[in-house]
Structure 1
Amino acid sequence: MFSLRLLLPISGWSKNYNKSFLRPDIIAGITIVAFIIPESIAYAALAGFPPQTGLYAALAALLVYFIFGTSKQLSVGPTSTLSLLIGSTIGTLSIVSPNNLIILGSFVALVTGIFGILAWLFRMGFVAKFISHVVITGFSTGVAFFIAATQLPKLCGISGAPFGFFDSLFFLFSHFNEIHLISLFIGIMTIIVILVFERFMPKIPGLLVVVIVSTALFSLTEFQELGVNLIGFIPSGLPLISLPPVSTLHSMSNFDILKIVGLGFACFILSYSEGIGTAQTFAWKYKYKIDNNREFFALGVSNLLAGLTQGFPVGGSISRSAVNDEAGSKSPLSSGVSGLVLVVVLIFFVKFFSNLPEPVLAAIIIFAILKLVKIHTLKEYFEVNKIEFLYAVANIAGILILGIVEGLIIGIIISVLIYYKKYFYKNR
């Protein structure tokens, strides 16, 4: 039998909870929502979903991780890499349409969650050691370049761009005369303003400031006549908990079903590798231990609930976790606080964001993901170990040329090769 403490880590950390942690946890929980709202909307757009699905996925992840999570700083929700992985794959399904896109995203989240629960049941936390830092560096850098390229047309106000690194760049250059200068100006100014906030006022959530100000301006009729694309209507209220219609699966080919299972597995690998890597970083920094197997369970249930609430796959966010730490988070309680604040936003304030300009979203995405570029780390690999540098470059090239899923597979293969190479030399 599984003990309550095994299934509910909250029963463990809450027993030793220091009352002095309450204030910083509440502050961190409120602060992180200021980043979750614009990022969740942006990452939903990146995956090709309506904006509310990102908020639903974030809500599910926050509440579940508060109960089951073991990291004191990890922030779970939509991430740029997962969103791009989903967006680059789900559109290739033969039955995809605007009517069933949310349903397909929910199915992928459910599959991702099932893999997480299975990994927890079979106690597969040991697989974390197979995830090479070289591959994480190559993957994150390749994904950052890929995402930036796909967002450039939106930043310039050009619609209808294909999905792909080289395809997006070629489309942008071939439609250069269609660039909407006002949209481009808004996008560039958004990046500049965020940089100013980060450099000179780091404690103020610059992302939320630009989202609120730009949305407020474009709520005025005069600004709506400028021809800038807006994200459109966002329904208010909380999501219903229900299984996505099984009838959708009946209308799918076996190949499409295999694609969904494969995408769910890829999301599971990526969700866990990002989450556990970030959680271990903070555990090492503050000298406490996390449970790799419980993280499987926490991420698994987070994805299951995201799938049951019209969301899409979620994982540990590197950037938001860093903000959570900076804001003073001392326990998973900060995730619970964030979840409660997000509930209030969804019920009373979400319609406000319907007039958010698309170039602002594109700028936020580009700004967020370019932090994933590890030029300094690549330079270190080149100077210290050129073989590892080539491994990272191979992973980057695989992503840019073949795609995110294929690049992830290449990364997994490289990780296994690196592990067995080290094991072989160690036991010679």
Structure 2
Amino acid sequence: MAKALHWIYRLAPGLYALRHYRRGDLRYDLVAGLSVVSVAVPVGIAYAELAGFPPASGLYASMMAMLAYAMFGSSRQLIAGPDAATCAMLATALSPLAVIGSPEYLSWSIALTFLVGLMCLGASRLRLGVLADFLSKPILIGFLNGIALSIVLGQLGKLLGFPVLSTGIVDRFVEIADKLAQTHLPTLGMGVLAFALLFAMRHRLPRLPAALLVMVLLGALVALFDLDRQGVAVIGAVPAGLPNLAVPQISREAIQTLFSAAAGIALVSFSSAMLTARSFATKNGYEIDPDRDFAALGAANIASSMLGGFAISGADSRTAVNDAMGGRTQMVSVIAAIGIALALILLTEPMRYVPIAALGAVLVYTGIFLFDLRSLRALWALDRNEFWLAQVVLIGVVVSGMIQAILLAVAISLVRFLQLTARPAVDVLGEVKGLAGLHATTHHESVRTREGITMLRFNAPLVFFNAPYFRQRMMAIAEEGGEGLRWIVLDLLPVSRIDVTGFYAIKEVSEALAKRGIMLKFAGRTTELSSYLAGRGVNFGPVRESTYPTLRAALKAFRQASSNTSQQADTGLPNDPSNPS
């Protein structure tokens, strides 16, 4: 029984936390849960509109995502639910396949969400949580900024009162410019009022649920003045009650058609959730398990699809509300899910009057603040290359769309990784007066090197894809050392791994240098190197006999060898500089 419980708790860490729940946390979690509901209801409805779903689907997705993540996730603060990036990507992927809002569109979307969940579960099984580390900060900034532009342009038609049928960012901009004369003024007025209220509450009443209050106020205006009869589009009837459970049907055609889109959504969903979860885990002093959270997002997406919802991720705004209101455990998600269920049962009638322009205003407002100008400024100050990398990804989203931009982002990440490891820095080391240790000549102008010896640091593992570069740099440095060079000492501390190709590269370099009268020596990792050679039965004497525990020890040995050489030259005896003893 104990083993079974251990397995269950390992699979569902949230269940363990809820079973051992402390009553003292309830009052904090209750306040935080109700605060999350006040944000999740309007945002869920707005994101359903963004994804091309009925309003209730956003609430179904929110409710099921919260419950699933509370059971299977490792973060105490993260709130799962509809997310601007995943919703925008879902709509972009499906709009060429069916008319948005049609039964076919909804069927495709449910299948895509289910497939995203399966991919997340498979990625967790393969322990691919490390993928979150592959999308660097500049790439994510560029990608999210591109999504922000896409969201803003995609919702302008709702604010202006006419449909926008184009899918690409550039095409949408052109279509909106052509249709400006068709602007519906009452709808525009509602949108402007929504914006004014959102910004006023942000600055004067920041603790209030601005999106919820704006929708309530504008819905009341529509109901009081019959604005829906004057052409102001509203949400309309929202089905009351909870949805029926159903297992999505996925055909081979759906898998073939949706595979790349599902992979892209799964990657962005996971990466975004991990950025949020890690930030709040660090703030609150605990660790999260990326592989476990991959499985939790998979379960949340599958649960969402089975109730007619759509793809979800970690919701940064709702997570921030949870943390700000003092939420302590996964119970916040359970309380919030119950609150959304009550809203579906009791509050669907008032929801019907909420104007579409209010939803559009909330989404454009979200897109404006999703655009991270502060981080762009920081990138410009820290590293111009990283700044332009973010712009390349943003342009990729604008020109080719979000799904293709995901592939571009992954490709850029891999190229960056290969660039850093295949062409690592090779530093020549020397002494600096007044500073302990040895330092790179590229970092200090006053570095002094010793005649006859060059000490090097190869800042990467020595493996198959950088072994040719290692040979090239070693021979170039030997050439630069001139005829007086006798020793090259390679610092092995940064070389965390040497594969077979790297070993043969060292052997070839050692033999080539020996022909020039130069000896290749090694400092650091002497035990590891000896064990590596002995464990494989390799008899490569020049390596085994030329290792020193530190660079200082190698430098001392060179001085002694040089001194012995001078003495032997004076007495006419033969010398061997490789054997200082």
Distance 1:114 1:221, change over 3 A: same
2:8 aligns with 4
Contact 2:164–2:175 (CA under 8 A) maintained in structure 1: no
2:26 aligns with 22
In 1, the alpha carbon distance for the partners of 2:157 and 2:283 equals: 40
1:72 aligns with 76
**After superposition, what is the alpha-carbon deviation per residue over 1:345-388, rounded to whole angstroms, capped at 9, x for unaligned?**
11121232122111111100011122111112112212221111
Q: Which has the larger radius of gyration?
A: 2
Distance 1:382 1:193, change over 3 A: same
Q: Which amino acid aligns with 1:3?
A: W
SS at match of 1:88: helix
Match of 1:147 among 151, 164, 167: 151
Q: Which amino acid aligns with 1:288?
A: Y
Matched, 1:258 2:256: yes
Gaps of 5+ in 1: none
Q: Name whichever of 123-132 and 141-150 sits farther off.
A: 123-132
In 2, the alpha carbon distance for the partners of 1:289 and 1:377 equals: 25
Distance 1:202 1:115, change over 3 A: same
Matched, 1:307 2:305: yes
Match of 1:162 among 153, 166, 181: 166
Q: Which amino acid aligns with 1:295?
A: D
Contact 2:32–2:327 (CA under 8 A) maintained in structure 1: yes
1:374 aligns with 372
2:119 aligns with 115
The TM-score, its normalising length taken from structure 1, stands at 0.94
CA RMSD of aligned residues (A): 1.9
Q: Which amino acid aligns with 1:49?
A: F
Deviation (angstroms), 1:160: 4.1
Q: Which amino acid aligns with 2:399?
A: I
Distance 1:32 1:95, change over 3 A: closer
Q: Which amino acid aligns with 1:5?
A: Y
Q: Name whichever of 72-81 and 407-416 sits farther off.
A: 407-416
Contact 2:18–2:330 (CA under 8 A) maintained in structure 1: no
Number of equivalenced pairs = 422
In 2, the alpha carbon distance for the partners of 1:399 and 1:203 equals: 34
Deviation (angstroms), 1:16: 5.8
The TM-score, its normalising length taken from structure 2, stands at 0.70
Contact 1:114–1:300 (CA under 8 A) maintained in structure 2: yes
1:335 aligns with 333
2:406 aligns with 408
SS at match of 2:102: coil
Q: Which amino acid aligns with 2:294?
A: F
1:56 aligns with 60
Distance 1:159 1:23, change over 3 A: same
SS at match of 1:100: helix
In 2, the alpha carbon distance for the partners of 1:318 and 1:258 equals: 32
In 2, the alpha carbon distance for the partners of 1:29 and 1:366 equals: 26
1:209 aligns with 213
Distance 1:104 1:378, change over 3 A: same
Distance 1:96 1:334, change over 3 A: closer
More helix by share: 1
Match of 1:427 among 460, 467, 471: 460
**After superposition, what is the alpha-carbon deviation per residue over 1:69-94, rounded to whole angstroms, capped at 9, x for unaligned?**
21121111111111110111101126
| Structure with higher RCO (Cα < 8 A, 6+ apart) | 1
Deviation (angstroms), 1:41: 1.0
Contact 2:143–2:390 (CA under 8 A) maintained in structure 1: yes
Match of 1:105 among 99, 103, 109: 109
Distance 1:182 1:94, change over 3 A: closer
Gaps of 5+ in 2: 425-458, 462-581
Deviation (angstroms), 1:220: 3.3
Deviation (angstroms), 1:214: 1.2
List aligned pairs for 1:286-297, cutoff 5 A: 286-297=284-295
